Structure 1
Amino acid sequence: MTTLSELAVSVLTEADAATKAAKSREAAAAWRASNGAMKIGSLTPPDRPARPDRPELLPPAEMPRRRGQSDAARATLLHAVQHIELNAIDLAWDMVARFTDQDLPRAFYDDWVRVGDEEAKHFTLLAERIAELGYSYGDFPAHDGLWEAAMSTRENLAARLAVVPMVLEARGLDVTPAMIDRFGRIGDEKSVNVLNIILKDEIGHVAIGSRWFHHFCEKSGIDAEKTWQALVKKFFKGLLKPPFNEEARSVAGLPVNYYHPLSMPQLSKETKNAKI
């Protein structure tokens, strides 16, 4: 029987974006269907996942501004989210395959398989919406900064949990409500519906990261708050950027006292209330 590690690596080594998303969902279905019979296995994942030739990857500072109400402007913004979701598929399956030597319970793998499945669902929902606007994945440039966190934490499970779900995915909880408001103001209910699904699922993903980070700290007998802050300072470049969606973060098990000390100076009220 195929092992879970083999399924994970098959997703990571698939270059075509749509096929990667499909393989992610198929791998998750196969894991669930095995009813515990499938072995975890041990197959080293690639340090960088396979990716399509497009989109063009640019430094974050060179990314085009996403403004306006045209189909192209809306597709550009959704495409940026879609690119994040493609990275998130790989991040989830890398989590599955990367740390098989850590004596982790099967529940850990259940959780990250679920994340990989849901990230693929998000990618596909966005692909369908962008297609309705007349575009497809790769039609707009994207940036490659997301995989830097995976590279820097590939030998440290606690750091991976601290940075990827509890910093990077938590950032999605902060910015997605503003995107939902933006699309809502122009009456784009289809995009609003997709983003609402993503926001709900991402709260669960941050919660999974928080739960396993705290499990690791409890098992290791170390202080979770101090350890999280130390790891973020070491493995994440720069300060955390407010404003924060404190309600969603709290639901996800990420307390204010963890991230506020590492944040940039609070933005002014005018900046917080500025329109997108």
Structure 2
Amino acid sequence: MELRHRALQVLCLPDPEEKAAAALDMHAQAASFSIADRAPEPPPEASALPGRPARPELRHHTAVARRSPATAEGRAVLIHAIAHIEFNAINLALDAVWRFDGMPPDFYLDWLRVAAEEARHFRLLRAHLQGMGHDYGDFPAHQGLWTMCEKTAHDIVARMALVPRTLEARGLDATPQIQAKLRQVGTPDALAAVDILDIILREEVGHVAIGNHWYRWLCERHALDPEAHYAVLTRQYEAPRLKPPFNESARRAAGFSEAELLWLQQA
């Protein structure tokens, strides 16, 4: 079996459970895959990427309502939103595996590992949502993560800078705040969600660290200053402005330098 071709096949799967199961199966069989030098041909219809179910309804991020986690439905909406992020994160990792040529084998294996862990996160959240009487697809969602994936499809340096170490790193900052609100609610489902988010936060530090590693590796290969070039890329691709508070301990664990943390605070 060839890893990058299989990653593209799994990326095209529309069923969330089938996609998650396939990503986990790929990771379990990682040692048996060969890795091609060139990317496989994508489907003729660009809209086929990524494969996604008919639901949830996708809206612009400004049209997706937020609700208080103090209510049962508000907590379901919150868990659904996080589950949607994790579903998209499976796609983002698989896209990195199949799309970008000329990288060391460890690059593809790193992102395969990320795809599998994101699949596990999605399953945990979906099962919790089902325990609350809902399911993935019951509420509208937005495609902010995948939009940046499309914008950086031609530029691996920008992809590493602006997806894992920008958009996904926002989860490092947001998760403790979400957990604090859920602890304050204190219901069994809220406290169970806190435990799931503990698992996700711990593993997301590793995912952001992978993005940091390969971003710096690429900058060194292209003789770019990683900190100065990051500022250029955020302007060029109109990346969302990151707002405090920042989870500085998690960001340090993920490989952000003190200079980068200071830049975040000043920006």
Structure-1-length-normalised TM-score:
0.88
User: 2:120 and 2:91 mapped to 1: Cα distance?
Assistant: 13
Cα 1:133–1:82 change in 2 (3 A) is same
AA matched with 1:229:
A
AA matched with 1:114:
R
Q: 1:142 is paired with a residue of what secondary structure?
A: coil
Identity across matched positions, percent? 42
Task: Please name the residue that 2:150 is paired with.
Answer: 151
> What are the superposed Cα offsets for residues 46-68 of structure 1, whole Å, 9 maximum, x if unpaired?
55301111011111111112204
Kindly indicate whether residue 39 of structure 2 is the aligned counterpart of residue 38 of structure 1. no
Q: How many residues align?
A: 259
Cα 1:176–1:238 change in 2 (3 A) is closer
Once the two structures are overlaid, the 10-residue window that deviates more, 229-238 or 143-152, is: 229-238
Task: Please name the residue that 2:199 is paired with.
Answer: 197
Paired residues for 1:8-47 under 5 Å: 8-32=7-31, 34=32, 38-40=34-36, 42-45=39-42, 47=46
Structure 1, gaps ≥5 residues long: 266-276
Indicate if the aligned counterparts of 2:69 and 2:181 stay in contact, CA closer than 8 A: no
Q: Which runs of 4+ in 1 moved over 6 A?
A: none
Q: 2:154 is paired with a residue of what secondary structure?
A: coil
Indicate if the aligned counterparts of 1:161 and 1:209 stay in contact, CA closer than 8 A: yes
By how many angstroms is 1:174 displaced?
0.6
Once the two structures are overlaid, the 10-residue window that deviates more, 232-241 or 202-211, is: 232-241
Once the two structures are overlaid, the 10-residue window that deviates more, 143-152 or 67-76, is: 67-76
Cα 1:44–1:91 change in 2 (3 A) is farther
Structure 2, gaps ≥5 residues long: none
Task: Please name the residue that 2:217 is paired with.
Answer: 215
Structure-2-length-normalised TM-score:
0.91
> What are the superposed Cα offsets for residues 64-113 of structure 1, whole Å, 9 maximum, x if unpaired?
122043332111101000000011000000000110x22x1111111111
User: 1:89 and 1:263 mapped to 2: Cα distance?
Assistant: 30
User: 2:89 and 2:66 mapped to 1: Cα distance?
Assistant: 23
> What are the superposed Cα offsets for residues 219-266 of structure 1, whole Å, 9 maximum, x if unpaired?
22221111122112212334222221111111111225336546686x
Cα 1:184–1:223 change in 2 (3 A) is same
Q: 1:85 is paired with a residue of what secondary structure?
A: helix
